[in-house]
Amino acid sequence: MNSSKRHLWAVMASAAFLAACSSTQEDRTANWTPDQLYNEARSEASSANYEKAVPLFERLEGRAAGTPLAQQAQLEKAYAQYKDGEPAKAIATLDRFIMLHPASSAVDYALYLKGIINFNDNLGLFSWLQRQDLSERDQRAAKESFESFKELVERFPESRYAADAHQRMIYIVNALAAYEVHVARYYYSRGAYVAAINRAQIAIQDYKEAPALAEALQILERSYDQLGMTDLRDDTRRVIQASFPEGTEGTNSAKRASWWKFW
């Protein structure tokens, strides 16, 4: 019995020692001022040590709560999380910032960064070019990015980020239209003409000014023709002639090569 007690005390003492060592390591910033903590976090982030920078910014948030420095720490933590390959955490941090500080002068930056994170998510808007999988999830990040940029432009038209956000909105609209046409083309090539019509119509209805419109109309016309729907085919042909009186020859290939070069 005594031997068992001695063994138990030894285990408890070892655990206490390890906990003390762990606490010592975790509390190395315990006596630092908020400015010291911020400078250290910035130093780690500047050296691309984002994994180390994030917890430092988190400590600063708590230690400087209610101050502008805490708000700055929250924004910089979001950027560090993004650069550390944690986009979902970064967006959650930005959403929290926007909710807690709706009157902050940095809300425009928070919206811009949120848009950028989604804009670049999973190879951005070109991921569908490298896969045969034509799933809807390719569009999700693009649409969320567009909504962030749109809110920025509408709420803060004088923001230093507004012009770039607007250009990226154009890019996203054109990319989404090109995606729909890409899917319509895919279905048409496999004889799924009804599906091709549906996707071409989405591009035409939702993205009226996009360069991909010409090809969407052509796919629509050809699909109606394949289905023997001559009246709709002829109606579409008239729309093409009215919209592109000089013809669509070369229009699609030229615009597909340059539609994304807005910035």
Answer whether residue 125 shows pLDDT above 60: no
Answer whether residue 219 shows pLDDT above 90: yes
Band the pLDDT of 258: cuts 50, 70, 90: very low
What's the mean pLDDT when you consider all of the chain? Answer: 84
The residue assigned the tokens 């924004």 is 75
pLDDT tens-place string over residues 176-210: 898 899 999 999 999 999 999 999 999 999 988 88
> Looking at residue 6, what is its pLDDT?
57
Answer whether residue 170 shows pLDDT above 70: yes
% of the chain exceeding 70 in pLDDT:
76
Structural domains in the chain plus CATH codes: 33-104 (1.25.40)
Q: Which of 97-101, 198-202, 247-251 has the lowest mean pLDDT?
A: 247-251
**C-alpha closest to that of 262 among 168, 185, 181, 187:** 168
Q: What stretches of the chain show up as alpha helix (H) in DSSP?
A: 2-26, 34-46, 50-63, 68-83, 87-100, 107-119, 137-155, 162-189, 193-206, 213-226, 230-243, 251-258
> Looking at residue 138, what is its pLDDT?
60
What's the mean pLDDT in 167-171?
Answer: 92
Answer whether residue 255 shows pLDDT above 50: no
Answer whether residue 263 shows pLDDT above 50: no
> Looking at residue 140, what is its pLDDT?
83
